Structure formats: structure tokens, C-alpha cells
Amino acid sequence: MIPLFSLIRNDVNRSLPRKLCSPLKMLVIVLVVLLLSTPAASAQEDNSAALNLPPGQISDSTAQDEASSADPEEAVQREVREVPFEFDQETWFTDVVATATVPLPESVEQPEEFPFDDDVSVIDISIVAKGRGGEAHEAVVRFLPRHAGLSTFPSLEFVSESIAYRTPSTQFIVGEPRRSDEMSFELTPASQSVFVGEPLRIDVAWSSREQTTRFRSLRCFPAFFNDDNVEVVVPRCTAEEDNQMGMPFGGRRIIVERQPPQDQPTQFGDVRFPLFVRFREPGRFELPAVRLEIALRNGNGGAFAPYAAYYNNGLFEPLSSLSSYERVYAESTPLTIEVKPLPAANRSERFSNLFTPCEIEVSIPKRELEVGQVVEVDLRIRSDAPHGMLELQPLTLQRSLRGRFHVSPEFGRTWYPDGTGFRARVRPLTTDVTAFPSLQIPVFDSERGDYRDLQTAAIPLKVNPYEGNQFFDVRRLITEPTLTEQPDGIWHNARPTIMTDFMNRLAGVLAEYMFVWLALGAALYAVTLPWVRERRRRAIDPRYRRQALAYQRLKSIPEGTQEKWFAFRSFLATGFSVPEEAWTRGNARQRLAELDLSDDEISLIEQLHTESDRLDFSEQKPGFAIPSLNHLADRLFRKFRQMPAMLTIALTLVSSTAMGSQWEEAEILFDQALDSTPGLPETNALYTQAALKFEDAAETESRSGASWFNAGNAWFQSGEIGRAIACYRQSQIYLPFDQDVRENLRAARALTVDVLEGGSSFRLRSLPLRWICAVIVLAWFALLAALLFHERYRNLFTKTGGIVAAVVVVATAGLAVNAYRYSGSEGVVIVSEVYGRKGPSYVYNTAFNESLHDGLEFHVRSRREDWLEIELADGRRCWVPQSETRLIFNCRL
């Protein structure tokens, strides 16, 4: 009963004023003693009177009687002695394991069963020796209270050979945590709505007016710390070391800044720190109330930070190490966060979940380099988001670096108080590099709800030759093929043969109902004749076919969208046989005037061109309104369809003049790019436009070889290695013996990443068709001449010459047929990287663990819809989308 008295006394002392403490304290103690002792004493006297035994032996005799009645032959008479039950704590809670000890003068048996009681749950009882002689022992009892309030620990019995040691039933009061008026705790989010992946700052504020020396065992476990849908980062503390404090929070040890009151330095004061959360899925996210609980030691407490405030303070002490304390808590208010999905439109594979506000700075320690020399590039990202939530996609995805630098895909990371530093390693590949180009880093503007690019500044460089080499061969860095087989997944299904069950059944149905099919065929002919004529016109007139396809695509897009304008611009360029990328505002003014459009309609189209150019080249990416365009497209398409045949013939006759115009425009654009600041997106855009103009000029008979060669140079300058290789190979068809074409092709191939060793790359079908046709003509004249000579002289020599000439004509004709058949069977990858797959769809597994890179050349084995089955140089096969490749066509003209 002594612990109960002490608890009641302490509780009364804390709850009553000091003046009333003495008389009321005595009165309360007396009343409680009378209430608690009277029933027990009465029961004890009744039992003693009934059995005529001393009060101290009531339960012992009862136990002996029960034992003897159960088994009289085996009952052992033991002396019963009472031993004290001593609590190791003065404070108990239902979620904290408590410990008590029972001193024993000798060794006793381990209890086989633990007592069952409604007030406590006994976890473990262990018997340990206290002295070396082995005589003194003690029983260590570990238990857990089951409810708050007044509880009773039941009597325990420990048996030796001759004595039964029994503890008295002991009462104690179990407390529970209470809400403190001296403490507050709050979580304040910076916003109630965020996008998926956007870091959300939540400010944590904890204040208390309690004495710091009383603080022990802090507990705070926000539920969202264990949510797989939420990523949580607590930034590094940057406060002065004297103000730093370590605290457990969400199962982590974090360092925070504590500010005690200046007038009360012994009080705890305020703790404020930010944490950032990032949601992986959209939806409505409920943050329940977060509870911060702390134990306050009774009395004067002790040292709060015995070693270092941020290393080992009282907040990390377990409750089991405390004896007398109380527990108080404070709770934050529940929160609701709306998580919105990121829009799929305009999203780039280079997007690294960077959100505004954000700044990116690029620096290079060396400005003068040698070809192939490794240099480190530092990218400093300044953002409100913490270091752990800032990521950057590999620089290998940066289009401006392609063909200029070999980039390592790995980054080194450095922490900064206001962001993160990324360090990449690059090599300049040619002496033509005059700057580290501007990088385009996609970020998401949360206020506008759209993506935009952060453009870094270009850094001037000077790249000198190394050992006389003007370019660096990337293949030196790779000692073996980079593509390894992907074991997972199965290859696509094979094509069925013609003679299948379906074909057999179809043939039977057609034969049985032959006359019905004939009549139906005549009716279908009358119905489909107009459609066939339309299709024929598209087949014989490629220009009209492109116009019709562009018109159909335009009509399928809703009005008022930016995609509508882009489709309309493509429709205009196709209508006048100009590549879409090369169509400019000046073309619109010049060409539309020829179709008798009104000045208002032409001005409207010019205005849309201007706004579109701002969208492409401005950093702010301003939006613009798109008017209704269908009615204007209908008028233009009717004019394109009604264009007289004589006008088409006239355009064909003046094609050389048009070519000269395209050539001149391409030359002007190329010169402008050379005079522009290297590395800027505007400069790359000029090179791209020049390349498209050269390709347009190459479509005519004159200057085709030079046009393809210049287009390759322009693509090379813009970093498009795959397109450059394709143009150089097209140029070889017209300039097979040109040394410059071979050198440029060799330089471009040296900058490709994939190295595949195969057999000889020479194939008869890859011979230029122009050569073969020229040889056929020469061989034909030679055969005619041989026949004339044989008709005149009729000897073995003339006969042999005629046979040889005939064989040459037949062989070259076969080569021509073979070359024409396989025209377009060679190609080049023109994107930075694409994964080859085991079938003609994205649902198939990848064929290789690594991706195929820009500039990889291949042979086309088959086509299926928009996919190509390609064969690499080493004979391995895979499927790639045709839109990410460019085919080489063996042209006769």
C-alpha cells in the first residue's frame, strides 16, 4: 500500500493550493485508507475466524487445503512466508512495460504459469542470483498495465523445496497522456493544392513554456511518413551550432534550430523547421492530426543535453529508463491537400520534375581545350525545393550536345543551402566546337499549369587539334559491342502462309456463288469509280496526295487549339510543296497572294505565324488565341484541287528556277547560322532550316549531289549526326567518287556511339542505281556496236565481243532491278536513342538491354505498318518505329 499512499500524496500536492494542502491532505489519506483497508481486513478476520488461524496464514492454509484435496498423497506441506513486492517505477502507463522485483533468500523454482488478471498482463518472470554464493536471489517481473486508473497487481508465489514465498496484492495508479496547455504543435503547408511530383513545403512549429531540464522521450510519428505514395525530405539545418538541437521525428533523427526565450533561457522556447513532401499519384490527400508527445520528469529533472545538443539529448531517452514522470501532448489540425496530375501535353522525356521558381547556371573551369579532352561542367540549380528532391536528366538527352560532345550519363551531386550542384564530364569531339551550347531544361510552371524551357547561357570555348586530329573518334572509348541481348520476353509471331484455312474457305465461297459475286462486283465498280479516280489522282500526283492527307489531318483536329494551327501551317507548306520546317512567314505572304486571298485573310495568317514564332523562340512561351481555320482551309483546298494542269506543267518547267531559289535561301540561312552566337537554340534553328532548304533543292535533277552534301553539313552543325549520315549517303549516290563526301561521312560515323563489328558492308544492291543505269546505256551501245562489227566482219573476235556485251547488258539490268527493289532498304537512326524491340509494337520487350543511338546504320528486312524490322551490322535483328529512322533511297535521277 505504500506506493499508493505516495501516489495519492503526490497527486494531492500537485492539484491543490499550498495553503489547503496540509489539512486536506491528511483528510484524503485517512478516507482512502479506511475505504481500501476495511473490506480486506473484514474478509481477513472472517476467514481467520472460520479456520481459527492467524490472519497472516489465511491464504497459505487455503492453498495447502486445496493442494491436499486435489492430491492428498503428493501434497507437500511448505511453510508460507511473505516477501515484499517492489516497483522499479513510480509512474505507470498502459503502453510502457514496467518492472518490479521480489527479493528471495534462496533459490526458487521458475513459475510455470503467469497469473491472469484484468488489471495487468505479466510478460516475463525471471529468477536471478544476486550474490556469488548463490543464496540470495531475486525475481524480476516485467508487466504491462491494461487500463488507466487504480489497478491491483495480484499476489505471486515462488516455491522452494520447503518454503512458499508469497507477495501481497499491491495497488498502483496507472496514468495516461494529457493535452498540455503549455505546449503547441502545428503543421502549416505552403499551399492546399500541388501537382504530382511537385515539392510541397510544410512548416513545422513546436512551442513550449516548460523547463527544458524536464523534457524526455519525444514521440512524433506523422502518418504520411510511412505512406508509399508520399516522399518526405527534411532539409539540412543551417543554423549556428549553438542553436542546433537533435530530435526524433517520424522515426528519423533530425537536426533543428531551437530558440529559447531571451528572458527565460531555461524554458524550452520555439522549434521551427521545414519539411517537404512530394506525392506520386493524383487525388485528394488527407493529412490527419499529428500528435507530438513528450515525457516531463517529476522534480527538478536533469541535464537536457549531456553531450551535444545535436548528438545525444534527453529527447531520445526511452520511457523505460524513467521512473517518475508525466506525459503531455499537443496535436496539429488535420489538413487536406489536393494533388493534381501533370498534363501530358508538351511533356518532354528531358523533364526531371523541376518546378518553378528555379534557376540554372552552367560553368566550365577551362575555356581552351583539345579534341577529346575531358572537361567538367558544373550545373547549379537554385530552387526552393530541398537537395534531395532536385533531379536532372542526363545531358545525353540534350539535343544541342549531339555531335559536338561525348557526354558521360552520370552526375556528381553537391549540396548547397539553396539547391543542388550537378557535375558532368564531357569531351569535345571536333575543332568546329566554338562554345558549350545553351541547354534546354524543361521545368513545370505551377501557376500557368504548363511546361516551359529554362535556357542556359552558351559558354565560348576554343578547341585545338590533338596530335593533328581535327575530330575525336568516339569508338576509341568502346572496346566491345555495346548491345547485349535481352533474355526476357518472346519475339513477335511469324506471318501466316497464303494457304491457310481462311483462304481455303474464302475460295470455296467465291466459287459457289460466282454469279452473285459478278453482279455485286459490277455494282461496286459503279459506286467506287469516283473514289478510284480520286485515289488515282493521288497516286500519280504526289503533290496532290500530300495536300489531301494534310487536309484530312487538319479537319480532324478541334478548333481553337495550338495543334490546329500547327496542322494548318503544315497544310500550307504541303500545298505549295515546301517542307514544313522550312515554311516561313515570308512564304505565306508571297504564296498566298498567288491564290487571290483577301488581304485580311493573309494578314491573319501572318499574325498567327508571328505568334507561333514567339512560342518557339521566346523564353516566356506566351500563348495566343487560335481563330476558326476550317472555312479558310476549305477554300484553300478547293483552290489546290482546281489548279489547272498547265500550271502544274509550268511549275515543273521552272523547277530549276525554284531549286535555285531554295538553294539561295539555304545558303543565306547557313551563312546566318555561321555568323550567329554558337550554342544558342536560335543558331541551331538556322542550321535546321538551312538543311531542310538544301533537302528541298536536292529533290530536283540538278545539283542533287551538292544539295544532299550541304544538307548533311547543316545537320552536322546542328548536332543531328543520324540525319547528317543519311544525307551524306544520299549524296554518294550522285557523287560516288567525291573525296569530301567520303571524309565527311567518315567524320560523322566517328561520332556515333554504337560500335558493332560485322562482316563486309559491301552489297551489290547498295550500288548506286544511277551508276547501274549509266552502265546499262553504255553496255547497250556497246552491244549494238558489237552486232554491227560482227555483221561486217563475222569472226570469233566480233562474236565474243557481242556475247560479252550482251552478258553485261543482262547483268547490269539484273543489278538495276535488284537495286530498285531494295531501294529504301538501308537506313539510319535519327533520334538520340531508341530501344529496339522484339516485335512491331511497344508492348513487346526490348531486344537489347541498351538503346540504339543516333547515327546507327542498319538494313531493313521487313515492314509492318509503322514499324521496321532491321538488321544490324553484326546480324542481330530488332524492331524500331519508322518515324525515328531515315531510309536511304537509291534513286535513278
CA dihedral for 862, 868, 871, 877, sign (positive or negative): negative
DSSP string, 656-694: HHHHHHHHHHHHHHHHHHHHSPTT-HHHHHHHHHHHHHH
Rounded (5°) CA angle 700-706-710: 110
* Three-class SS state of 219: strand
pLDDT bin (cut points 50, 70, 90) of residue 134 is low
- What residues have CB less than 8 Å from 709, skipping those under 6 apart? 727, 728, 731, 735, 738, 740, 741, 744
Region of 52 on the Ramachandran plot (φ > 0 left; ψ -120 to 50 alpha; else beta): left
* Spatial contact of 143 and 121, defined as CB atoms under 8 Å apart: yes
pLDDT bin (cut points 50, 70, 90) of residue 761 is low
pTM: 0.64
pLDDT at 231 over 80: yes
CA dihedral for 93, 98, 103, 107, sign (positive or negative): positive
Grid coordinates belonging to 363: 560553368
pLDDT at 30 over 50: no
Stronger pLDDT, 69 or 114, i.e. the higher one: 114
Most confident of 61-75, 521-535, 659-673: 659-673
User: How many whole angstroms separate alpha carbon 674 and alpha carbon 683?
Assistant: 8
- Closest listed residue to residue 668, CA positions, set 654, 655, 687: 687
User: How many whole angstroms separate alpha carbon 391 and alpha carbon 526?
Assistant: 64
Most confident of 51-60, 180-189, 428-437, 776-785: 180-189
User: How many whole angstroms separate alpha carbon 666 and alpha carbon 692?
Assistant: 8
pLDDT at 829 over 90: yes
pLDDT at 784 over 60: yes
- What pLDDT is recorded for position 420? 92
User: How many whole angstroms separate alpha carbon 563 and alpha carbon 626?
Assistant: 10
DSSP string, 337-391: EEEEPPP-TT--TT--S-BSSEEEEEE-S-SEEETT--EEEEEEEEESS-GGG--
> Residue 261: is the preceding peptide bond cis (ω within 30°)?
no
pLDDT at 333 over 90: yes
pLDDT at 316 over 90: no
pLDDT at 64 over 60: no
Beta strands 193-195 and 335-340, pairing class: parallel
- What pLDDT is recorded for position 764? 63
**DSSP character for 470?**
S
* Spatial contact of 90 and 6, defined as CB atoms under 8 Å apart: yes
pLDDT at 890 over 60: yes
- What residues have CB less than 8 Å from 699, skipping those under 6 apart? none
| Interval 124-140 mean pLDDT | 82
- What pLDDT is recorded for position 614? 65
Host H or E run for residue 808:
helix 796-821
- CA dist 865 to 213, 494, 549, 557, Å? 77, 15, 17, 23
Q: At what angle do helices 542-555 and 630-641 cross, to 10 degrees?
A: 160
At 792, give phi and psi (nearest 5°). -85, -45
* Three-class SS state of 627: coil
> Residue 357: is the preceding peptide bond cis (ω within 30°)?
yes
* Spatial contact of 408 and 424, defined as CB atoms under 8 Å apart: yes
- What pLDDT is recorded for position 616? 60
- What residues have CB less than 8 Å from 94, skipping those under 6 apart? 144, 145, 146, 147, 148, 174, 176
Grid coordinates belonging to 221: 510519428
- Amino acid (1-letter code) at residue 442: P
pLDDT bin (cut points 50, 70, 90) of residue 305 is low
Beta partners for 354? none
* Spatial contact of 313 and 168, defined as CB atoms under 8 Å apart: no
- CA dist 532 to 464, 537, 550, 644, Å? 62, 9, 19, 20
List the alpha helices (DSSP H) in 556-598. Answer: 562-575, 585-593
Grid coordinates belonging to 92: 505507470
Rounded to the nearest angstrom, the gap between the alpha carbon of residue 94 and the centroid of all alpha carbons in its chain is: 45
pLDDT at 57 over 60: no
pLDDT at 272 over 90: yes
pLDDT tens digit string along 74-84? Answer: 456 788 899 99
List the alpha helices (DSSP H) in 421-556. Answer: 501-512, 514-540, 542-555
| Interval 600-618 mean pLDDT | 71
- Closest listed residue to residue 4, CA positions, set 213, 153, 179, 159: 153
pLDDT bin (cut points 50, 70, 90) of residue 467 is confident
* Spatial contact of 173 and 151, defined as CB atoms under 8 Å apart: yes
- What pLDDT is recorded for position 100? 93
**Number of helices followed by number of strands (H, E) in the chain:** 18, 41
| Interval 614-625 mean pLDDT | 60
| Interval 558-582 mean pLDDT | 74
Region of 209 on the Ramachandran plot (φ > 0 left; ψ -120 to 50 alpha; else beta): alpha
DSSP string, 837-869: BSSSSTTSPBSBSSPEETT-EEEEEEEETTEEE
The whole-chain average pLDDT of the chain stands at 78
User: How many whole angstroms separate alpha carbon 119 and alpha carbon 174?
Assistant: 10
Cα-Cα-Cα-Cα dihedral of 758, 762, 766, 771, to 10°? Answer: 160
User: How many whole angstroms separate alpha carbon 685 and alpha carbon 681?
Assistant: 6
| Interval 839-854 mean pLDDT | 88
* Spatial contact of 394 and 352, defined as CB atoms under 8 Å apart: no
| Interval 620-649 mean pLDDT | 64
Grid coordinates belonging to 219: 514521440
pLDDT at 273 over 70: yes
pLDDT at 431 over 50: yes
- What pLDDT is recorded for position 293? 94
- Beta strands per DSSP E along 221-367: 230-233, 244-249, 252-259, 267-279, 283-287, 291-297, 325-331, 335-340, 358-363
- Closest listed residue to residue 691, CA positions, set 725, 658, 657: 725
Rounded (5°) CA angle 391-392-394: 140
CB atoms under 10 Å from CB of 809, counted, come to 20
- What pLDDT is recorded for position 10? 44
pLDDT tens digit string along 526-535? Answer: 776 676 666 6
SS3 of the chain: helix, strand, coil, percent, to 5: 40, 25, 35
User: What percent of the chain is predicted at pLDDT more than 70?
Assistant: 76
Beta strands 435-436 and 459-460, pairing class: antiparallel
Cα-Cα-Cα-Cα dihedral of 188, 191, 197, 198, to 10°? Answer: -100
- Closest listed residue to residue 355, CA positions, set 440, 444, 453: 444
Q: Specify the residue for cell string 549520315.
A: 725
CB atoms under 10 Å from CB of 673, counted, come to 22
Q: How far apart are the first and last CA of the chain?
A: 113
- What pLDDT is recorded for position 363? 92
**DSSP character for 119?**
S
Q: Specify the residue for cell string 489538413.
A: 335
- What pLDDT is recorded for position 186? 95
Grid coordinates belonging to 725: 549520315
* Spatial contact of 357 and 454, defined as CB atoms under 8 Å apart: no
- What pLDDT is recorded for position 179? 92
User: How many whole angstroms separate alpha carbon 831 and alpha carbon 562?
Assistant: 25
